[in-house]
Amino acid sequence: MLSKSIEAALNKQIRIEAESSQAYLAMAIWAEVKGLEGISSFMYSQSDEEREHMLKLVKFINERGGHAHISELNAPNVTFTSYKAMFEKLLEHEIFVSESINELVHISLQEKDYATHNFLQWYVSEQIEEEAMARTILDKVKMIGDDKGGLYLFDRDIKQLTVSSAADTPGA
């Protein structure tokens, strides 16, 4: 059985994951309108992934005897000055999500809720990957600079971008 404080904290995370999905959907739409098909496809996929993260939390809360809540969401930013600014926002957002997950882990340990702590380890690993991917993308974007040919290749190649984190490395 979940404590009321853990249930409330997990419900807060549901909102964060839902807002993440909406933010990445807005980024996908912005990129699509700009003709950046690869970036758009990548962002649509990220949006779907965030929704899956939200649903995983919903199921966990309900399975542990709590009650998941869906709340009103803050509207995401829908315009960006450049694709670089958009990816900077992506990294900033992933760092925010990581901090939120870390706070949840802290609460679960304080309350000695080891089932929730164990469940949250998947999110901790996921955030390591998400931040690594955002940093890798930003490194590539900075390398491209204002080169339109580089942007063309980046837009084409981002569809296949995957980043393996240190957590995935054998022996790490």
Amino acid letter, residue 119: F
Give the integer Cα–Cα distance in Å for 9 and 91. 23
Burial 28-52 (b: 16+ CB within 10 A, else e): bbbbeeeebebbbbbbbebbebbbe
Confirm whether residue 127 is marked as ligand binding.
yes
Confirm whether residue 22 is marked as ligand binding.
no
Confirm whether residue 53 is marked as ligand binding.
yes
Find, among 158, 127, 126, 129, the residue nearest to 141 by Cα.
158
Give the integer Cα–Cα distance in Å for 70 and 15. 7
Which string of DSSP letters, residue by residue, matches 65-79? T--------PPPP--
Confirm whether residue 50 is marked as ligand binding.
yes
Give the integer Cα–Cα distance in Å for 67 and 78. 32
Give the integer Cα–Cα distance in Å for 1 and 113. 9
Residue ranges for the known binding site are: 17, 50, 53, 94, 127
Q: Which residues does the annotation place in the binding site for Fe cation?
A: 17, 50, 53, 94, 127
